[in-house]
Structure 1
């Protein structure tokens, strides 16, 4: 796959009920992709009529998880965002078996707060058993299922 074709192939992993929504993209690890993933996520949240502070928190979590994958992952990165049954779930896969972890950053540290931010704004977060996927869950905004 070339960088030009690997940017965004939006496709749900399996058929979803009409009351649900999802998108999935795979891309090469490049720091410019973080902005692209925020833009794509924002567009889908608007399409799903999700806005306000909760949408901002979701986009922030995407930004932090994708940044971690770009900085620490191995090979192609995958982003999946889906909502169903009152929950919106973000999953970022990066090929690195070392799981993401929340850590403490000193006041003068320029990085190291990403998982703290995800933990603070999401309802729950975790890492797959193999360590290669980090996820965060949010309650779907009112009116969403």
Structure 2
């Protein structure tokens, strides 16, 4: 895990996660631990849900290991997940095999987006905390 201050007073931390089912659990633990270190509270649990959803989608659709980066923005949090697939996320109809992820992200985050890269993409979101 990397942690520290980076430019303009932004406090950030990042970690690489293996592909696989445990990645969502590891992401929730990482976010929870980091929020505690920054004395931030997530009473609704939205940040944990959102991080888990981003990581799970990245593992499922990005094929393999992912990276998650957290940045403290005032009393809020920016979550960025990097994967190896250049394919942007797309909304699918909800069904037995999923399809609710982007709706959840859209509903629980303040804003979100995608930054394409040479060897993959970063899906990011910002959420408010108390």
User: TM-score, structure 2 length as denominator?
Assistant: 0.85
Question: Is 1:129 paired with 2:91?
Answer: no
Partner-residue secondary structure (3-state), 2:116 = coil
Show the 5 A alignment for 1:62-73. Answer: 62-73=51-62
Paired position in structure 2 for 1:118: 105
Aligned with 2:19 (options 29, 47, 50):
29
Segments of 5+ residues of structure 2 without an aligned counterpart are: none
Instruction: Tell me, in whole angstroms, the C-alpha distance in 2 between the residues paired with 1:58 and 1:102.
Output: 21
Tell me which protein shows more strand as a share of its residues.
Answer: 2
Across the aligned residues of Structure 1 and Structure 2, the Cα RMSD in angstroms comes to 2.1
Q: CA deviation at 1:139?
A: 2.8
Q: If the length of structure 1 is used for normalisation, what is the TM-score?
A: 0.77
> Gapped runs of 5+ residues in structure 1?
1-8
**What count of residue pairs does the alignment treat as equivalent?**
127
- What is residue 100 of structure 1 aligned with on the other side? 89
Partners of 2:3 and 2:14 within 8 A in 1: yes
Q: Deviations over 1:95-143 (max 9, x none)?
A: 100011233214xx241111111111001111113461111111343xx
In the other structure, the counterpart of 2:73 is 84
Alpha-carbon contact 1:123-1:138 (below 8 Å) kept: yes
Match of 1:10 in 2: 2
Corresponding position: 1:50 with 2:40: yes
